[in-house]
Structure 1
Amino acid sequence: MILINGQPENRIPVSDRGLQYGDGLFETLAFRNGELELLEQHIMRLQRGCKRINLSFQHVDSLRAELAMLCAQTAEDSVIKIILTRGSGGRGYKAPLENEAIRIISSHSMPEYPEANQSGVTVRLCEQRLGLNPTLAGLKHLNRLEQVLARSEWDDRTISEGLMLNINENLIEGTMSNLFIVKNQQLLTPALTQAGIAGIMRSKVMEIADSMSIACHEKALTVNDLLDADEVFLTNSIIKLWPVKTLLHNDTNTHWQHGALTQQIQNALKDLAH
């Protein structure tokens, strides 16, 4: 099911700036066990993103009602996607002086990842690099061509994710996930001040770590930091947490165990309605 500004519809004008320029934001939520997980955190990130890109978003209550309508007609666990665009504004990059976000929400089948949460996943390093843009860093904006190109680098179903570096060779994230390293019983995650998406699940893991008195640091990380890690895991709102068991790099394999700290965080993520 798809709703556009609350109405059943599956088309937008060709002139929509989301299509023309990637001028907008999106959120991906898990609908599990009859609940939208971490809804308030997703809405807050949308509002922060709208402020950053100067996109008017006044109809938050309407969005909540539309999400409730969509979920009421969704019987199974699903992926719910929210897209906000700046709407139509004529040809040219200059945004209209007055605009109100166009709301597009849709439901999709929940993907299955057999045993990934327990046995761990295999990842690779991508050749595609992320550019530096502190203005857009952290935002879940519609310009995802770097990730599209990175994900096109492999077609091996045994590889679940690709890790991306920026042009300065710092680790940033996966093509669809955030990265955590465990070293000496501490969590390390890449700083996202120049590139990358500040994921909702990433924030939740950091919150959980703080509540458990587990040190968690955001910092510049390199491939050598990754190779030297005790444990590695990935997060996003749909997968929650994937332990990484194998990294394919330069024709060699690096292996990690599904370690104790990873399992501790994983157990804390089981109930995520709020």
Structure 2
Amino acid sequence: MTQKLYQDRAFHYGDGLFTTMRVENGRVSLWRYHLARLEHDSSRLGLKLDLSYLSHHVAAAADQLSKGVLKLHISSGVGGRGYARPEHPDMQYRLSEHAVPAHYAKWRTEGITTEVSPVKLGLQPLLAGIKHLNRLEQVLIKQHMRCDDAIVCDIHNHLIEGSASNLFWMIDGQWVTPALDQCGVAGVYRAFVLDALKAQGTPVQTGHFDVASLEHASAVFLCNSLMGIVPVKAVEHHSTVTRFDKSPVLDLQDKIKAAYERENEATD
């Protein structure tokens, strides 16, 4: 480990952001959404990003990679007194390359089984929605996971998200998703789905819902920028298994496919 990395505020405090991007045909999918979230989240954390620099280097890395995953890690750099940042942080940007998990394609067609995680998310409105570098809650969630994935609630037992994804479910023909004003990560694919459904005249209801809401659901899915939309076939909670129809989720995949392709074609 280099001395500079050892001194980095990301290493010491998790002071920074990251985003994980799918690369197809040499371009970052949903880059406009990634960029908007980076701009929003950095502003919330009081960090000033060079968005032009980021766009140029991400585009160059995607072109070279052609297909796979790029992870962009942003740190507030080195320095400051204790927790306090220096007056003018020297932002550090790091890109790493990865393969798309092979099982995601199977998940999208066959669906997955999940459980309600015993690990609850703490509440911090100042960090709610932000994809910051402190992911210890997610580490604990993964340690306790026994199924393909987990449904995660906050400490008040409100539904929030998956272990690394956003959560949607259908009740009486309407899609529903948790509000993320107290905790959780507002994913770029979640934002895309909300926009795509709104454009089709199918707005999504957002709010605070407890686990019992899933008992009335006809369909459930998880989504993120790497795996896309994945049907949830079943949720286990307190030894009770609730099963869902995956056909509405597969229909949704088809309905927004054209919007996804248009978004990526329009990406600069």
TM normalised by structure 2 equals 0.92
1:109 has 2:105 as partner: no
Gap change, CA 1:96 and 1:90, over 3 Å in 2: closer
- Structure with more helix by fraction: 2
What is aligned with 1:203? 191
The reply on whether 1:220 has 2:208 as its aligned counterpart is yes
More strand by share: 1
Cα deviation for residue 160 of structure 1 reads: 1.9
82, 91, 94: which one pairs with 2:72? 82
Would you identify which runs of 4 or more consecutive aligned residues in structure 1 move more than 3 Å?
A: 9-12
1:139 is aligned to 2:116 = no
Residue 6 of structure 1 aligns with which residue?
A: none
- Distance of aligned partners of 1:116 and 1:242 in 2 relative to their CA distance in 1, 3 Å threshold: same
Correspondence 1:98 to 2:88: yes
- The answer for the alignment partner of 1:128 in structure 2 is 119
1: CA distance, partners of 2:54 / 2:29? 16
Give how far 1:65 is off: 2.0
State whether residues 173 and 190 of structure 1, in contact with CA within 8 Å, keep that contact through their aligned partners in structure 2.
Answer: yes
Alignment of 1:18-29 (within 5 A): 18-29=10-21
Show the counterpart of 2:33.
41
| CA contact 2:33–2:192 (8 Å) conserved in 1 | no
Helix, strand or coil: the match of 1:149?
helix
Contact 2:26 2:64 in 1 (8 A): no
Once the two structures are TM-superposed, the CA of residue 74 in structure 1 deviates from its matched residue by 1.3
- Superimposed CA distance per residue, residues 10-48 of structure 1 (whole angstroms, 9 cap, x where no aligned partner): 995201000100000111110023321011211111111
1:175 equivalent in alignment to 2:163: yes
The answer to whether the Cα contact below 8 Å between 2:78 and 2:90 also exists between their aligned partners in 1 is no
CA deviation after TM superposition for structure 1 residue 101, in Å: 1.8
For residue 115 of structure 1, give the secondary structure of its aligned residue in structure 2: helix
Question: TM-score by structure 1 length?
Answer: 0.90
Matched with 2:251 is: 264
> 1:35-81 deviations in whole A, cap 9, x for unaligned?
21011211111111111111121x22221222123223214x21111
* 1:264 positional shift: 3.1
Equivalent pairs: percent with the same residue?
33
d(CA) in 1 for partners of 2:22 and 2:3? 24
Offset from partner CA, 1:208-248 (integer Å, 9 cap, x none): 11122113111111110012101101110001100000112
Root mean square deviation, CA, Å: 1.8
**Matched residues, number:** 260
| Structure 1 residues 21 and 224: alpha-carbon distance in aligned structure 2, compared to 1, 3 A threshold | same
